[in-house]
Amino acid sequence: MTPTGLTRRHVIAAGATLAATTPLAAMAGMTHRTFPKGFLWGTATAAHQVEGNNTNSDWWLLEGLPGTFIRERSGVACDHYNRYPQDIATIAAMGLSSYRFSIEWARIEPTPGRYDKRQLDHYRDMLRVCRRHGLHTVVTLHHFTSPAWLAARGGFENPATVAAFAAYAEAVLRHCGDLIDTLCTFNEANLTFSDFIPTTILAPMLDAAKKASGSSTFRSFLFDDASRSKPIVRACHAAARRATKAVRPDLPVGLTLAMSDIQDAPGAPGAGVAERSKRYDVWLELARTDEFVGVQNYTRERFDAKGAIPPPAGAVRTQLDQEYYPAGLAGAVRYAASVARTPILVTENGIGTEDDALRGRYITEALTGLQECIAAGIDVRGYWHWSAMDNFEWSFGYGPKFGLMAVDRVSQVRTLKPSASLYSAIARANAVSA
């Protein structure tokens, strides 16, 4: 058995089964919506959420603090750091054409200015394995976590981070850039937990982090003061883009954004429109100079004159207490395209639920809306389901289940879910049935 609990025979058989027992084949008489030739079908992970033992990162420190609101430690996570060859083989056996994953800055640069060649070699080998399986590689340089030393000196609230991030990007590109097909500088560059988590909850943890790190300036990306950090994040993106182009002028570069489908509440015309513009426009305008913008959507939000309103009575809720609303993907894509005027990659979309049948329904409905966007002329070039496997979901711990694969927390055995069969069928057919 491989460390994942899937033998080579199981991986190959999984691919054969997924191809042969497709829900699409059973629905041959129904309407098919075909995606463009060359459309990328993928799935995604993030280093801290799946690799395990990310001990040099700010999140590793935050997880173990007294007063933390993070529900549990990430620990060994899904041990993807060691099991990536088998995990990547499974992704390829599903018939997908791309894998999106992040490179962990805290591993690459454990202390300021010292780049760890062994860790750079590790990620280079991940890229080689992807290439061996014919997968288009999408690499994210920063997926929420930073080196603990960077957080201690102010993180993305410190202007000096611009030069540090550009140097990190250059180190990655010089070592691995020939094997990267698409580069995302930041995951959800616009997201800040401090925008919606009360200070009374955040303050005890951040105070403990300052004490543990010995730095009164400790800041972590998701808990930054957005008014100070986000202009610096935008400058970091621009600097990393320049560093990347100096090494690989032909490499497509962009960033990804957290984008709810923001709507006007009933009887409140313009309220959602104003909120949507305030939240997204500066980022989408920044993306106009990039080769793409990554749209990441999970639900919708509705606004009246007083602010956000709850989901409708009786609405299905996900494990993150979000409204089940797969149509939100199309709404977010339409808005992103209208402002950014650059190609779209759906770099994340999915649902946190124990009900895998609901996940399958979500995938089908979200992709039906996405195909309608393409039919209307929007340039969408790929879709990456979040996530490849059930993993560590930040402050929620291991509770929410987003994966196409279940992961046994003790044995680390992976089990493909029925939704993986559905998604595989869609990818192989390059079409969704409605």
Question: The tokens of 216 are what?
Answer: 């009164």
pLDDT in tens, 282-292: 999 999 999 99
Interatomic CA distance for residues 133 and 37, integer angstroms: 20
Phi then psi for residue 256, to 5 deg, are -115, 150
In a domain, 2, yes or no: no
In a domain, 230, yes or no: yes
In a domain, 116, yes or no: yes
Q: What is the pLDDT of residue 31?
A: 64
Structural domain containing residue 132: 8-433
CATH number for the domain harbouring residue 373:
3.20.20.80
HSE, side-chain direction, 13 A CA sphere, residue 82: 11
In a domain, 20, yes or no: yes
Interatomic CA distance for residues 299 and 170, integer angstroms: 35
CB 237 within 8 A of CB 189: yes
- What are the DSSP calls for 176-221, one per residue? HGGG-SEEEEESSTT--GGGTS-HHHHHHHHHHHHHHHT-TT---G
pLDDT in tens, 359-393: 999 999 999 999 999 999 999 999 999 999 999 99
Q: What is the pLDDT of residue 187?
A: 98
Q: What is the pLDDT of residue 15?
A: 34
Q: What is the pLDDT of residue 401?
A: 98
Residues with active-site annotation: 188
In a domain, 180, yes or no: yes
In a domain, 1, yes or no: no
Q: What is the pLDDT of residue 24?
A: 38
In a domain, 108, yes or no: yes
Interatomic CA distance for residues 346 and 383, integer angstroms: 5
Q: Which residues of the chain have pLDDT under 50?
A: 1-29
Element spanning 414, H or E: strand 414-416
Q: What is the pLDDT of residue 334?
A: 98
In a domain, 3, yes or no: no
How many domains are there within the chain? 1
